[in-house]
Amino acid sequence: MTAPMGCDAVAVPARFGPLVLPRLPRVGCVYADEAHWWWLVPSDSDYALEWPAPAHYAAGAVLPDAEAPELPGLIHRPDGTLPYTPPIPLYLALCRLTDTTPAWSRPVSA
């Protein structure tokens, strides 16, 4: 698997993972443990976005070695060769689940 655009990750509490997954048209690598699920997204997917709480955006994600026992397990692998989940559908799914208005839909004050 290659990551030509670099990797960042979006983490959410584990209780949200099964709710987000079916809302996405395409899913890349997803890692999970008992506390969190992490979606790999292309680097800089946080540009001009405020990811809704309780999601956490982490820059500089590293694709772990599948044999490392202390790391979260890979629970979804994409069909293709790229590890990414498209960030905009992921962002919108998280906004909907957290009842957060997307940043571009909020009123602007002068």
Q: Is 9 helix (H, G, I), strand (E, B) or coil?
A: strand
What pLDDT is stored for residue 19 in this prediction?
96
Cα separation, 77 vs 13, whole angstroms: 20
Identify the H or E element spanning 42: strand 36-42
Span 15-60, pLDDT tens digits = 999 999 999 999 999 999 999 999 999 999 998 888 999 999 999 8
pTM: 0.84
